[in-house]
């Protein structure tokens, strides 16, 4: 049986690759528990901004645009 050694090596490699893939997926999909804080901002121009857009800081998603409404003097309030 000259294929037994490579078959075992391939099986071990696939098991390790599957475990690492699951670990990366579980780490990236983990929900952060705890309370949240809501913020509002007033913009003179909110062109291109839509509700449900991501809010990012340094490339990391930290929130989501919940609501956009017009307020006094043609400004946009973003929650």
77 with 69: CB under 8 angstroms?
yes
Query: What is the Cα Rg of the chain in Å?
Result: 24
Residues above pLDDT 70, as percent of the chain:
97
pTM greater than the 0.75 cutoff: no
What torsion, rounded to 10 degrees, do the Cα atoms 65, 70, 73, 75 define?
20
Residue 1 has pLDDT above 70, yes or no: no
pLDDT tens-digit readout, 37-75:
899 999 999 899 999 999 999 988 888 999 999 998 889
* pLDDT value of residue 5: 85
User: pLDDT higher for 31 or 48?
Assistant: 48
């Amino acid at each position: 049986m000259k294929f037994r050694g490579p078959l075992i090596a391939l099986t071990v490699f696939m098991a390790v690759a599957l475990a690492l893939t699951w670990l990366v997926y579980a780490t990236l999909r983990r929900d952060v528990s705890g309370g949240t804080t809501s913020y509002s901002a007033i913009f003179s121009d909110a062109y291109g901004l839509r509700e449900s857009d991501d809010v990012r800081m340094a490339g990391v998603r930290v929130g989501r645009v919940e609501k956009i409404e017009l307020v006094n003097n043609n400004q946009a309030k973003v929650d």
